[in-house]
Amino acid sequence: MALLEIEGLTVEFGSVAAPLIAVDNVDLTMEAGEIVGCVGESGSGKSVTALALMGLVDFPGRVRAKRMSFDGRDLLGLSDAGRRALVGKDIAMIFQDPLASLNPCFTVAFQLTETMRIHGTDAERRSAMRRRDRALELLQQVEIPDAATRLAAFPHQLSGGMAQRVMIAMAIACNPRLLIADEPTTALDVTVQAQVLELLVRLQHERGMALLLITHDLAVVAETVQRVMVMYAGQQVETGPVPAIFEAPEHPYTQALLAALPEHNLERSRLKAIPGIVPGQFDRPVGCLLSPRCDYALERCHRDQPLLEGPEGRKVRCHFALDPAGYPTGGWKAELQAQLPAETSAGAA
């Protein structure tokens, strides 16, 4: 049994008649100890997917799914008390902005020990001294210098990197089985980003946690995760092992994201940009959601939304990604070009 199983997750906001679809029929499976990346532009639904999993989508948001379970427990049918007992202990999350997530009115020590007071071991719940000792140990584990002094600090007295390390310490305080890291390196400089990512991977290996790493940067997941899910406008457009995705991306959106990386454009004077923006509530296309921005869109792309499955868990939401046998062709563009004379492309010459 997989540790996490999500099937058909949909999250909507606004009116029922004209909803804003933030997450659209997403499937995700994670095994214990696995690292999975979730990538895409801002507005792709990455964070909302994680918030739905945590049970943090409040009214007027609406969460539906065919199946959403953690270690065999049905998350959709959990009571409020059951959700509170699970989230923060077995499932923990590192949010995007640590300074917005930490309470400015309380010290680091108070906020760390509060987590253990609710979800910690029997000894930690009974003893304030034990909780403080554990808080110091956690700050040392996340490599905060002068950890004993930082326990008495308030969030505004911490740098961005230190605040993020405190958030990581809070998330791992109760030894979660699944850790969700939502843009953990946002607003940090390049050196600190590398340190935080290295820290997360080290902690994941030491504790055997499953790690869901949410980011908009494919370069971040290249050396970190085992499997990646690419999201666009709330949908998963491509899913598969990292080597397969990076060596032979099958969806034009994945290819465009890779083409925007500097290391993939050493021979070009300018980085490739994806024209347009992610569709919103009132301009959501009927067919493929990428079709208005895709250089290779044909008439069928404006009509239908395919979801094709291949080996090794490959899933691609594109007409030309996989051959009828379900194996990657690696040459869907050639097939597309052969059809251009008969069917006019939206963006290709």
Strands (E), 206-345: 210-215, 227-232, 235-241, 308-309, 315-316
**How many domains, the chain?**
2
Residue 19 lies in a domain: no
Residue 112 lies in a domain: yes
Strands (E), 225-285: 227-232, 235-241
Q: What pLDDT digit, counting tens, does each position of 227-250 carry?
A: 999 999 999 999 999 988 888 888
**How many other CB atoms are found less than 10 A from the CB of residue 199?**
17
Phi, psi of 218 (to 5 degrees): -65, -30
Single out the residue in 132, 151, 175 at which a domain terminates: 175
Which is it for strands 235-241 and 227-232: parallel, antiparallel or unpaired? antiparallel
What pLDDT score was predicted for residue 266?
A: 64
Whole-number Å distance between alpha carbons of 23 and 294:
21
- The CA distances from residue 70 to 67, 200, 272, 344, in Å, are 10, 22, 40, 46
What pLDDT score was predicted for residue 65?
A: 95
Single out the residue in 151, 175, 199 at which a domain terminates: 175
> Is the bond preceding residue 60 a cis peptide, omega within 30 degrees?
yes
> Which structural domain, as residue segments, surrounds residue 165?
105-175
Residue 95 lies in a domain: no
Whole-number Å distance between alpha carbons of 196 and 206:
15
**How many other CB atoms are found less than 10 A from the CB of residue 265?**
14
Structure tokens at 4: 């996490």
What pLDDT score was predicted for residue 66?
A: 94
The 3-class SS string of 92-161 reads EEECCCHHHHCCCCCCHHHHHHHHHHHHCCHHHHHCHHHHHHHHHHHHHHCCCCCHHHHCCCCHHHCCHH
What pLDDT score was predicted for residue 341?
A: 42
Whole-number Å distance between alpha carbons of 208 and 54:
20
Helix (H) or strand (E) holding 91: strand 91-94
Whole-number Å distance between alpha carbons of 10 and 67:
11
Q: Which residues of the chain have pLDDT under 70?
A: 187, 264-269, 321-349
Residue 233 lies in a domain: no
Phi, psi of 67 (to 5 degrees): -155, 135
Whole-number Å distance between alpha carbons of 211 and 220:
14
Helices (H) and strands (E) in the chain, counts: 13, 13
Residue 132 lies in a domain: yes
What pLDDT score was predicted for residue 264?
A: 66
Residue 333 lies in a domain: yes
Whole-number Å distance between alpha carbons of 90 and 259:
38
Single out the residue in 130, 160, 175 at which a domain terminates: 175
22 three-state secondary structure: strand
CB 52 within 8 A of CB 45: no
Quick one: 220 exposed, middle or buried, by C-beta within 10 A (0-12, 13-18, 19+)?
Answer: buried
Whole-number Å distance between alpha carbons of 320 and 332:
5
CB 108 within 8 A of CB 166: yes
Residue 97 lies in a domain: no
What pLDDT score was predicted for residue 328?
A: 43
What pLDDT score was predicted for residue 187?
A: 67
pTM (two decimals): 0.87
**How many other CB atoms are found less than 10 A from the CB of residue 58?**
7
Residue 307 lies in a domain: yes
